[in-house]
Structure 1
């Protein structure tokens, strides 16, 4: 069932449709009614009651008035005291028309039921006096039929009984003194049945300065009159007094007004009756009846309400708890075509503003809104907070009329209007624009948060209430949740804390942040931040020799290492599926060169590149983080003058920006690049293979290693059959029967067309397994002349791999093994040392072979000892202290790495520093050096005298 627009079901009054109403007409004026000059809707009793919803408080009051005028009980004095715009004057008008008796009660809508409840069959016509404290002036007399009336009691007597009544108080009126209780009682008794309506009494009395005499009397004489009048009312059974007293400070006025109110409350408290003000639910009907001719067919209204209620229940976790009850369904029905949330916000939030007059203010505001929506063909199912046409000048002016200065630019830029951010978002994104998601969301936030102040401990609307004011059935809630996040990130006057959102006239520091973002240096600030954060992602537990983040080619070592090296490219060298050459030039520079020197161990490098589509977002998030962090630092050190709430907001934004940055870094750095060489027409050609690593993997390094293993870009375990294939393809061919084992390992580190092994242990394990099986190749520790020393095939332990180690072609290895098996073993020679074979080509035992290794060659005399082998190197060099860092780096590359590349070599480096000063070292230098030496764990360090 599709939702029908409200304008197809309900119809506003003609003056609302035409916009011909006057704002002042919503403020009922009892004096105009008494003088016959009020608009017809207030002057005509029939029209008045047709547009008046008799609330529970009004009903109880009218029952009491009817009983009192009929002399059958009721209260003699009723005090009406509610907040500004609480319906006091409107209630007095209802009493006026009821008591006047100009129209039979049967023609007044709702009145017959009141009389029935009062038990009154017929209500007598009554004399009525209307005293309006705002219309009367203490210093100015009034002329009636040749009479000069000065005081409130003179005005009262004349209105009740004309010249005869005035004659009863003429002397007191002339002297400005109170006539006393008995005189007033006689006056009221002669005028009964009668009704006295006093409105804005405090406004009149507060004009009377203490100890000063006016034409209308003194401050004290007027209070005495009120006291005497309230006492006199009790003695007349068919007379009633209704007086309105203010509740808000705005109406009370200054010190004199408060003093008058305090005194009046004491006098009225002796005889007053409690009057119940308009309830929130009753306000629905008051506004609806005043603004709409008809709310529409009840069946259609209930159908719309049911769809909204079902929608709220189906998405219970997205909306406030109260929307899940059947009571909320009934509220929608009673407030239709206006959504209950509008009433809640206006009565609960806007009514706290000094200038907002509760029901009267709601009537004025909603009349303008409805007029605009009707003429713009608004198609919403209900008039919701998100429906408010704040782009309209009249609606906007009425909205900011009640608010402090500064709200107009906020509405224009960040709530609604042709140049507002929400308009831009809706205009550029069909998903949002199709339901006006951004504008409806911001209108809702404005209505719910504009009346709040910074002094409140809890501000703003919860997200669930924002959705309640913006989303209609048949719309996707997620669209509004998404646009809310986008608005939070873009707007300068929108605040958010936890799940609460509010607007303020003070910028939320986002503008300051945006300004600072523009001044962030990519090379000096952004790149170091990204380098630090990317480095942090990898941690320390990995199998790489090193992970080089944004490192120059000269600083990436060219060594064999204990594993391959992972080179992480800078953001500007990103990878794209559609344009794979973006990252290639930078990666190729590191691959082929170490600084200005050619790189030798090219097959020890793997590259990680960022995704082209994510890089810009990563940079933007990095700038945001740096900007927020600088704002927090400046607020804390006093450079930026902001309050504690802004500091807390900035800290939350730092945390949010940091979290988003870490996430987007993972999303960006996902492309593994592996260089390979393929032979094209006999020449090696460099190519790049790429594969994506899941950005959601819990451990990035582990995910990279798994992907390298899966793609076989790095060999973690090498089968000897693959090693044999490499040997046969590249080395053991064209009559070559042996190859240096160390050379094969080094070539695998050098050349991209060979397998990329994790480390030399993988290579050595493949040799050991191949030799042990006896099916792939043989191994020899060395070769001397034509003899293979430390030869193994099928049994024995592979010795250390060095320059002399050899891998022997399988057929040759088997023939050697067969030849040695046919030669009988020999006993020990005269010196007791074992020997095998015969002739002069015997082979010495290699120290790594073990005691059970069989020598090759035939038996014969003991061979002469081989030449001594150099097993230790020692070197010293003096470095220029100015260029020590650069010179030491050169020494490491050119000398030390020659030793560290060998698996059987242990290298020890010590640094000796001698420094002499002619004048001696001062204490600060000695303290700094001692502390640094201790931190760097120097074995020995001390200062000496000559």
Structure 2
């Protein structure tokens, strides 16, 4: 049987056909109707009721209104409360037109049977008062005949009977205090029958701030009025109050609104009658009446509905169980020409979102869809989910408005549109005969795009998909085949068991997102630490790069070290405290002990604004890696396409992490202290230097930044060294200072310059001696400088005996030695009060009462006196006896021996091995004792390791 298209059976209203409808036309406005400025469909009683489907809830309400106005009972107070767009104002309009009685009630479609059921012939006309919370203003009086009316009770009286009624409560209106129950009862009795319609009460009351007096009264006085009014109408048999209250948070608008709603619910709860909202089945008729004229061909409608029902019965296994019930035929008839599956999706899925209005939202969406289908010449027997033109901009935008960000590419690529994958499938394959791919995609999208709260399993199964797209005369196999093809090719179509759904993430992303939640802070931080360790490979001048370790684990020595702070200590220019405090803790303390060498640490911190993104990307990479691992270990079964997708996603995730890591760790934190003239040292401060994330090698970038900004000095001039000596080391009573004391101070104090290593200081000393910036000596013996040099080329050996002499003192000493040499006199004792107390010898002739402090940061050994010649100046000098052999013994801490031996090599052995004429022999003696003894397994390990390391001797003994 050839079924007539819906367009030949049900013709849309003119505004839908022309596409001239506006969103506001679907929003009833009680005040505009009351003022006579609304559109005809709302203002004209006949037209309004012709387009209004009287639901069960509205019928009961109108029945109560008729009884109340006739004095035959009925409820005095009714509260209308539904979700956003649930028909509250539309119901108030139905009551308004019935109560006004401007048109005989029997001429209003659907009202006659209600009047007959009550058993009355005529219904008295009532005075109708409209109190619209969006129209009234707490601090702006309503003007009537040039006179102000300030409050809701003033407006109530004026609308009942103008100034005559107003005079009864003028005093209460002017003072903003609520009239009592008795005054209101008398007022209503005098002007009954009457109906008071209160719309958007919460919108009005939420404007009253607590404790503040307005022209319209106070928050409390308005609540008192509403309570008194509800009590008064109970005492007047033919008076009635109807109030609409919002149910969803979307309509409230803040904590004051919630307080107002709670208060109103308590007041109305004492006297209110229940009002049944619009049911889903009733919504079918509401939408059909608003969008379509009367059915032009009832027979064709019946044939179409039966054809669909017959298809469901013949292919029972392909469709949902509810289609096998006889009442489903009634659903088809009630919703025609729109298929019930459309309403099920919109009312059960889309209306779960706060912004979607149950009736108004459906009307607006379907009006746009029907207009597009009409202009495109759609010939479907019924409008099914598969027929909705989602590629039409107005329809697509209307749907996407309610969805979170990210759905545009889903629709354009996988659902509907000229460049979509579904359009390609229909164009290039046999499925195009019935547009199977796009019909299936539209059906799945409409039913699964919104995530329904409390939904146990997302998606719809094949029977629901077929219900939304299959027409009489078609075969289910075509749609099943295209669904399988779509599952293999579409990017955003997900399959979970037997359920299909669209998501903003590609197929495997759902699995990845789920796995991301497994990785907490510890796993994420460990991965970041490992990545940084591989990324920042140690190189000169850094002795070590310490990533995410405690202060106790950062060595306190004289080497430059880079400390990488954890992500919790991220840096931000606007809030640098976290990073600075974390760095300060490591800078000033090593575990529980104060740190000595504070000027040897530099810090690298992450950017606060990037850290969260870095963590998220790391979790993403970990999730993809876990999927790949499970596939490799056969714990997860994926096809080749999905395996390739996992590899591609993992590679992309790793690249993103690497890029984000560079973007994140871009702040060098440099500690420093300012020297304030006459005010001592300033507080510990931090210089933040931003690295370029585009640099090819980050460690090179760090070194360049430190060098360019002179935070780390590789080459130092005596011009800079001499002022430091004058300012901090040479004093009136101390005109010679140990070079090692200078070096140690520069390692310890952040107000001094930061050198890469001691070699920089040595080279600066050599140049300084040659240029006359200062003199040097290696000892003070009986008042004489040994190894003295000034204004001459010199090769400096950095040892503990090296002294730096103030230039005036050095010049005086040089001149005296020159005169002594010329005169042939015996050398006289020089005043050595300027010599460093650390190195003033306790030998005969040296200063007395001066003790040499213990050096706790280096390994002490005896250094023979440095021997110098005449320096090439032609003058005789005293020459110390040259020593030909050195022997030294030192005890090492077993736990830190590896680090200490490195220090011994740098500070002692390197000086010997640098000379080609020196033969160096090193012997290591190890002695270990255990009270419990060493078992055979332990001994076997040690013997094997000794053999591999070529020990000449080694043995275990009983005692």
Q: TM-score, normalised by structure 2?
A: 0.55
Task: Report matched runs for 1:72-91 at 5 Å.
Answer: 72-91=72-91
CA contact (8 A) 2:349 2:452 kept: no
CA contact (8 A) 2:630 2:636 kept: no
Provide the residue aligned with 2:181 in structure 1: 181
In structure 1, distance between residues paired with 2:101 and 2:352: 38
CA contact (8 A) 2:444 2:502 kept: yes
Residues 440 and 179 (structure 1), Cα distance of their counterparts in 2 relative to 1, 3 Å cut: same
In structure 2, distance between residues paired with 1:253 and 1:228: 26
Task: Report matched runs for 1:36-75 at 5 Å.
Answer: 36-75=36-75
Provide the residue aligned with 1:751 in structure 2: none
1:427-480 deviation digits (Å, cap 9, x = unpaired): 001x21111111111111111011216985421222211111111111111111
Residues 170 and 643 (structure 1), Cα distance of their counterparts in 2 relative to 1, 3 Å cut: farther
Provide the residue aligned with 1:104 in structure 2: 104
Provide the residue aligned with 1:450 in structure 2: 449
1:242 corresponds to 2:239: no
Residues 239 and 646 (structure 1), Cα distance of their counterparts in 2 relative to 1, 3 Å cut: farther
In structure 2, distance between residues paired with 1:27 and 1:649: 55
1:359 corresponds to 2:359: yes
CA contact (8 A) 2:13 2:292 kept: yes
Deviation at 1:658, TM superposition (A): 7.0
Provide the residue aligned with 2:490 in structure 1: 491
Residues 925 and 3 (structure 1), Cα distance of their counterparts in 2 relative to 1, 3 Å cut: farther
In structure 2, distance between residues paired with 1:135 and 1:650: 68
CA contact (8 A) 1:126 1:194 kept: yes
In structure 1, distance between residues paired with 2:332 and 2:4: 15
3-state DSSP class of the match of 1:242?
strand
Deviation at 1:355, TM superposition (A): 1.1
Provide the residue aligned with 1:639 in structure 2: 621
Residues 638 and 87 (structure 1), Cα distance of their counterparts in 2 relative to 1, 3 Å cut: closer
Provide the residue aligned with 1:10 in structure 2: 10
1:92-123 deviation digits (Å, cap 9, x = unpaired): 10110001111111211111111011222101
In structure 2, distance between residues paired with 1:357 and 1:481: 34
Give the greater-gyration-radius structure (CA). Answer: 1
In structure 2, distance between residues paired with 1:47 and 1:505: 44
Provide the residue aligned with 1:395 in structure 2: 395
Structure 1 stretches of 5 or more lacking a match? 514-633, 662-918, 927-946
1:432 corresponds to 2:431: yes
CA contact (8 A) 1:492 1:510 kept: no
3-state DSSP class of the match of 2:232?
helix
In structure 1, distance between residues paired with 2:632 and 2:257: 46
Provide the residue aligned with 2:252 in structure 1: 252
1:404 corresponds to 2:404: yes
1:217 corresponds to 2:199: no
3-state DSSP class of the match of 1:276?
coil
In structure 2, distance between residues paired with 1:384 and 1:656: 35
Residues 216 and 399 (structure 1), Cα distance of their counterparts in 2 relative to 1, 3 Å cut: same
3-state DSSP class of the match of 2:154?
helix
Provide the residue aligned with 1:371 in structure 2: 371
CA contact (8 A) 1:134 1:200 kept: yes
Provide the residue aligned with 2:788 in structure 1: none
1:472 corresponds to 2:471: yes
Task: Report matched runs for 1:16-27 at 5 Å.
Answer: 16-27=16-27
In structure 1, distance between residues paired with 2:226 and 2:628: 53
In structure 2, distance between residues paired with 1:79 and 1:441: 43
Structure 2 stretches of 5 or more lacking a match? 513-615, 644-940, 949-959
CA contact (8 A) 1:635 1:641 kept: no
In structure 1, distance between residues paired with 2:38 and 2:632: 56
1:128-149 deviation digits (Å, cap 9, x = unpaired): 0111111222121111012201
Provide the residue aligned with 1:314 in structure 2: 314
CA contact (8 A) 1:64 1:118 kept: no
Residues 648 and 220 (structure 1), Cα distance of their counterparts in 2 relative to 1, 3 Å cut: farther
The more displaced of 254-263 and 10-19 is 254-263
CA contact (8 A) 2:139 2:215 kept: yes
In structure 1, distance between residues paired with 2:628 and 2:236: 64
CA contact (8 A) 1:295 1:336 kept: no
Residues 169 and 212 (structure 1), Cα distance of their counterparts in 2 relative to 1, 3 Å cut: same
CA contact (8 A) 1:13 1:291 kept: yes
In structure 2, distance between residues paired with 1:33 and 1:488: 53
In structure 1, distance between residues paired with 2:264 and 2:366: 35
Task: Report matched runs for 1:92-131 at 5 Å.
Answer: 92-131=92-131
Deviation at 1:18, TM superposition (A): 0.7
In structure 2, distance between residues paired with 1:647 and 1:62: 67
Deviation at 1:38, TM superposition (A): 0.6
In structure 1, distance between residues paired with 2:639 and 2:123: 74
1:533-562 deviation digits (Å, cap 9, x = unpaired): xxxxxxxxxxxxxxxxxxxxxxxxxxxxxx
Provide the residue aligned with 2:146 in structure 1: 146
CA contact (8 A) 2:202 2:261 kept: yes
3-state DSSP class of the match of 2:235?
coil
3-state DSSP class of the match of 1:143?
strand
In structure 1, distance between residues paired with 2:162 and 2:395: 47
Provide the residue aligned with 2:205 in structure 1: 205
1:270-324 deviation digits (Å, cap 9, x = unpaired): 1111111111111100100111002332222111011101101111111110001
Residues 299 and 645 (structure 1), Cα distance of their counterparts in 2 relative to 1, 3 Å cut: farther
Residues 638 and 495 (structure 1), Cα distance of their counterparts in 2 relative to 1, 3 Å cut: closer
CA contact (8 A) 1:76 1:234 kept: yes
Residues 411 and 146 (structure 1), Cα distance of their counterparts in 2 relative to 1, 3 Å cut: same
Residues 925 and 215 (structure 1), Cα distance of their counterparts in 2 relative to 1, 3 Å cut: farther
Residues 382 and 642 (structure 1), Cα distance of their counterparts in 2 relative to 1, 3 Å cut: farther
Provide the residue aligned with 2:507 in structure 1: 508
In structure 2, distance between residues paired with 1:646 and 1:380: 47
In structure 1, distance between residues paired with 2:246 and 2:106: 34
3-state DSSP class of the match of 2:395?
helix
In structure 2, distance between residues paired with 1:466 and 1:178: 59
Q: TM-score, normalised by structure 1?
A: 0.55
3-state DSSP class of the match of 1:12?
coil
3-state DSSP class of the match of 1:215?
coil
In structure 2, distance between residues paired with 1:342 and 1:137: 41
Residues 465 and 644 (structure 1), Cα distance of their counterparts in 2 relative to 1, 3 Å cut: farther
Residues 635 and 133 (structure 1), Cα distance of their counterparts in 2 relative to 1, 3 Å cut: closer
1:182-230 deviation digits (Å, cap 9, x = unpaired): 1111111112101100011111111111111111111111111111000
